[in-house]
Amino acid sequence: MTRNQKTDLFDARAQRVAVLSDKVFGAPNEMDVVEAEDLLRAADIDPEELKARFHARFDGLAKTYAAKGQRVPPLLKQALADFRPGVSHSRAERELLREAQTSIRHLLKQVKQLPQLLAKLPSPRLAAAYRSKKELSEQDKKLLDEVVEDLQRRGCAAKGRKGTA
């Protein structure tokens, strides 16, 4: 038997075993990440340590690209991000987290700008019709006058701040 024939025979027999394996144990993609982690832990392999070792290998590979002055392939950059030690969330979870942080930052920025936004509003015209109401006592009218004065003072103060800002 020639070497090529031996190779063909070896491969054919190995592939038959692979087909049998898939029949008995299922297609490769039937094993999800939870099951895979359980299997590794049962063999005393910590999945987080495993990821850290792969990160070190990807880091070394990226450095060889840099040393040659070559551009790091996008998938290698993605691998470095996905395998970064201490990052326990999946990429989908990390994206959600990033979106939430962006929304909160945007909201806080708007809150900080609120006094300036209010100052841009035209000064309110305060109605004085209450003065002709006979049901109100002089004391009530005096209290309402104080409220009007207070609001006008605040409006002026806000405009003054805007002018100095």
Partner 1 sequence: MSVESADLSELAVRLTAFARRTFADFGLGGQDTALVGVGLSIEDFVWRVLEEYVEGRLEHQISRGDLFSLLATALRNDIIDSLRKAAHRREETRSPLPRERDSVDDPPSLDELPSNAAHFFAVLDEEEYRKRVLTALAAEPELTEMVHVILDLNVYRPREIAAALRISATEVQNRKKRLRRRFIDCNLAKGITL
Interface contacts to partner 1, rule CB under 8 A: 3, 6-7, 10-11, 13-18, 20-33, 35-40, 42-45, 47, 50-51, 53-54, 57-58, 61, 73, 75-76, 78-79, 82-83, 90-92
Q: Please answer whether residues 54 and 36 qualify as being in contact, where contact means their C-beta atoms are separated by less than 8 angstroms.
A: no
Nearer to partner 1, 29 or 132 (CB): 29
Nearer to partner 1, 24 or 121 (CB): 24
Find how far residue 159's CA is from the centre of its chain.
38
Q: Supply the minimum distance, in Å, between the C-beta of residue 60 and partner 1.
A: 10
Could you write out the DSSP letters of every residue in 130-162? GGG-TTS-HHHHHHHHHHHHHHHHHHHHHHHHH
Nearer to partner 1, 17 or 117 (CB): 17
